[in-house]
Amino acid sequence: MIKEFSLGSTILVDKPLKWTSFDVVNKLRWHLRQKLGVKKIKVGHAGTLDPLATGLLVLCIGKHTKLINDLMVGEKTYTGTILLGKTTPSYDLESEFNEEFSTDHISEEMMESVRKAFLGEIQQIPPIFSAKKIDGQRAYDLARDGKEVVLKANTVQIHSFSIDTKRFPEVDFEISCSKGTYIRSIASDFGRNLNSGGTLIALRRTQSGEQHINDAKSVDEWIEFIDSSEL
């Protein structure tokens, strides 16, 4: 019954493109409130996905919101596509292309060498268009205001990183990494390390800890479940 479900549950949502993580939280929370006839119910997510990313979003409801920090620690797996030869300020398609670079010199051997260099523990500088705080302000707010943004490198772990170059200059990939890894920065650094440019043009989270996208439902499926459930 939905009343028991809402007291303490963890659900898996396949986040649609262009939705923020909070859009998903707010939508499902509204339907839960309407169904239960309550003014408040706790709903939170265990790890943000950018609006241009799709895939696994872990939502915690009721007492399970206390589990969010534990759920966020797990290894993450993503699939996606890097476009070589072009860059944007945000490292993805949130902003317009601002520079173009040659890709004529890039060989399979170069890409394989660069891929291997990412494996293991690496130092990564987050994108300036990120939620990182600088003196209490979000980096993306400073960047959008045209102010200089200097972010410190973080230590992250890349457990696996595979690439498929059949559609070059688009490079499809799958990557498993630690919490806090910015895949946009991976895309940008991948292009830079090839003496070119790189932009993340597609991203999908398929796994977070022990949770997998194959067990997730769409937002519409969860809404139907909530609205049609017995109290």
Selected catalytic residue, list 50, 135, 141, 227: 50
Phi, psi of 154 (to 5 degrees): -110, 150
Say how many C-beta atoms besides its own lie within 10 A of residue 184's C-beta: 26
Question: With contact defined as beta carbons under 8 Å apart, do 223 and 31 qualify?
Answer: yes
Question: With contact defined as beta carbons under 8 Å apart, do 126 and 154 qualify?
Answer: yes
Of 201, 192, 196, 205, which Cα lies nearest the Cα of 118?
192
Query: Which tokens is 146 given?
Result: 């045209």
CA atoms within a 13 Å half-sphere pointing along the CA-CB vector of 229:
18
Whether 220 is catalytic: no
What distance in Å separates the CA atoms of residue 57 and residue 217, rounded to the nearest whole number?
10
What are the residue ranges of helices labelled H in 18-88? 21-36, 68-72
What distance in Å separates the CA atoms of residue 15 and residue 20, rounded to the nearest whole number?
8
Residue positions annotated with a catalytic role: 50
